[in-house]
Structure 1
Amino acid sequence: MEAIELDDFRAHQAGQTYWCGVWLGGCGHQLFTKLYTDRACHFAHGPDPEHTSTCARKAAGVSSADHLYIKQGLLAWMAEQDITATATIPREADGSIGREVLFTPAGHTGLRVLLSESADSPAPVGEDSAQQVLGPEMTSDPDVLLRQGYVNRIQLIPDGTRRRIQVGTERHGRTTEWFDLHEVELTDAGLTTPAVEEVRRLRTTRRPIGVQAPKATPQQTRPTVQPASEVTHGIPSPDRAAVMAALEQAVSDGRSRTEIRRWLNQAEEVTHGGATAEENGLIRAAADALLKLERAVGLPTPHEPTFQERKALRKVQRLLGDLAEQKRRRFPAVTPHQRRQLAQAAEQASAWLTDTQRSQVQAWQTAPTESAPAPPAPQQPARTRAPRIPPAAHHSARFDAAGLADAVRDVLEHAARLRKTVTFADLCAQVKNLGELPESDQVQVLRRVKPTARPCSPKPQRPALLTALITTEAGTMHPIYRQLVNHAGHHLTQQADSAWTDTVKILHDRYDNRP
């Protein structure tokens, strides 16, 4: 900044303090702005006569915060795929930080992102190589490249005022091919890019029968050929006929590579002792079809689910699990919001649903719709008490309070994972019909919003309502939050900004699981 700009900066930021960030390798001591007229104004450490500060931040460049961008970016990317994950940034023995980031995604093997090597702790060689992701400057292990066929890398590139993550795949004997995060998927084998899929496909491809004639075996004696209708190679003819019929159906329907290969393998097995001309013709046709699919020639339909289809399939599985648990607790009704979500996800993933999942989706589509919230009849006679705010059952005939609350919770929990807040206007834009309700009905909906993340610490913590993440356009506490807190019995004082700020931080930490 120029001197006149620093004066303006100080006037607008009066009362603020600044500190040397330890997550960037800094010392944690306080910083001050220094005003100059003959050179650029800047932040500097305060006087340290006892020389207690050993700050290593001064020599750090633009990449010194890459570990923070990677932690935030990959956690947000996993959250978009409905994967709950935690991340840890270890501190080295010498006090430095940022060499590696460790991710623990629920239901998947952990990821280790290595950004730099150190003399005391070199990069591990060969151990869990599929779960390792290397920085762009790190040297890859030749043995891993030879054995695995690839090594995944990660880099950050400038994107406006931020840095954008890219994942690259270095193949044996080739340069690194880079992909944006929307092209990458987290599987049981680690980060999977289109290049990784191609390496695995080429390494697992079997040469179909008919591509190259097998070497003829010398005839010992004149064999006796059994009729095709008899038992062949120990497999009864009804099973043989079923296998050949299934293979023919898979080829004619243009099924996936996996399914055609499975039936082709079984067809080779059942005809091992001799095949008719008709069976040989079908096997050759299946082999040709599989070869075209392997080479991606003339594909009539997608042979693997897309990222969106996989995401929709996971959503169907999650919704069916939630509804099954709901039914187990003797609440068999389904809300219109749940029914809508299930129908949309099932339609998008329809080609990959099992018969059981299809029947479950159909059953829930015809199940009774929730007409009132959960507590049953015994509470209805208590109307003589005249509660301060009408109960939600009074409004259930006009709007789906439970369904709207679920949608609000999804938006707020996503914001919490990203360590952000949501303005009330943005919330209404993302949750259909919420903004059209009167304020009393909006309060009824927001009262139902319960967080799914529990406190990480066993110590008692102050109650934190998820609705604390709703703000005004100026980013301050929304007035409706005071009503919700007072109704929950945690009455706020008139000077409640600091308490609200603490609540927002508690929610961010709870969903981020920051160590």
Structure 2
Amino acid sequence: MRGEDRRQIQTAVLGGAESEEPLMLPLEAIELDAFRRRHEHQTFWCGLLLGGCGLQLTTKLYTDRVCHFAHHPGPDGHPHLCGRRARGVSSADHLYVKSAAAAWLRDRDAQAEFEFVQPDGVPIGSVVDIRFSRGGLRVHLDQAVAPSWDRDGHEPVLGVSVPVDRDILIDRWYVHRIRLDSEGTARRVQIGTEAFARDTEWFALDDCRMTERGLSTPAVEQIVRSRSTRPVTQWGVGRAKKAPPARVRAEVLLRKLADAVRVESSFVVSRVLRDIADLTGVEGETKAKLEAAVSDAEAWLEDQVRVRRELFSQLEEALAARDALEVRRLLARVNAIASHDRTADEITTTDAAAAFVAEQQQLYAQHLQAEMAAKLADHQDARARRAAGRVQTLLATLQRREAEQSVKAMRKLVRELTHAASDAGDHVTADQKEQIGVWKTRADIGRPPAQSARPAPALGAPQAMRHEQVARRYWIKRKCPRCQAVAGKNCVSNARTGTGAVSKIPHYERIELILAERRATAASRRRAPGPYAIACPDCGKPPGERCLSPNGGVHRSRAERAREARR
């Protein structure tokens, strides 16, 4: 089992666990002071959309290392365990992409729907779908999901770490890139245009626009213009005679063929060979060059067929052996160099490989969840064992200090004992549960107010004062229900075994029986009506008024009725 994840958390969300408002913590202590003042009345959370646990975070300031977010410790003081995978400065990039794209669209009076999709169970944040009324964009921030170039209506936008096949660059003319640069506590979106044999050009999002072709940058517009128009050549007086059109086309096709072989693009090589076969009017040296180039290209294609056949054979063997790492590696290579003109058998093999990879990813995710659950169970069990040790210590402390401690101190220890027993759960023994129940009764904890109500002098009074309410001649006649001291014997300190030092002060339980009887007798007397509480049947005087007897006393019939009511 792996140890606790101690990677530093650099991103959070504001306001709540389900918030979509990201922010990044400054790395330097001098910047963190200003950050705290700026967000003084806001809260930071390990957001669910960050793959976090949904609990609140705090900021940690350091002068000897980078500052970072941290979870609040658990109730037992131990660090909180969070299964969040992405914790670095880029872990909230999908939220920054949505925020920047939404603002960009609002400025252009456009609307779109956003979704953080998770195909094949990949972690949240790898892919962001932006859907418009007529199309959309799929932003791949990492390599977890391979881009689909044939999916209608979703133009891929690739993160800087996502590879792209050279055939794709040649066939599509260009691809879109995206990167996020840190600016203070936020991330700024940049859109790039990558084309074959050209460096990637980067632009701010405001320099981009949506066209019928999809997302467009200034570089895209230049590439489209260069592909859509022919260069105009002005021939002056005395210049050489213009080359025949067939010869010019042949030279262009020879260059395309050489470039396609150099980048190992079977698809483009086959397409250029078809264009050469359709070319007419070529003679002499140019025709010889074409024939030689075609012969070399056909031999190269035959060799690529062998390589492709071996690649699919290796993929089938890896599938049969259920070698997940090898299947993943070969599938990526197949998608890179053999993505066109697949046979039915090749399609079946790649589909089976993709399903196997997805299955392995799901099994790995389940393994991680089970591992985290086991780690949490071990943590909870260790916490319960520590609480059980605390229960044992508190019971011993209460027993040792029984004679000299005040009721206030005793109640404080009993409350702590109750909390420790709750955390210990099943680790508390039956004997300990019985002792805890006795101490809760003595401390008036856990009983309804009506049952725990007692006369004012007894509440909060020291134990010696309770003893003074009952003379020794009364309680010594009773057996102690706690230490089992028989009538005529004093209580002993070790109540569990009935042994130990003899105490002059009786246990609370021994005198509580007598006090309870006295309270019951007093309550019955308070409830019994006196003679003047009822009307007189002789003289008719109502309750509260004296009788009209010759001697001024109460009539006999009134007194007898009052006695009957008290029975």
Question: Smaller-chain TM-score range?
Answer: 0.3 to 0.5
> Which has the higher Rg, Structure 1 or Structure 2?
2
Highest RCO, 1 vs 2 (Cα 8 Å, sep ≥ 6)? 1
Superposition TM-score, scaled by structure 2 size: 0.32
User: Comparing both structures, which one devotes a greater share of its residues to helix?
Assistant: 2
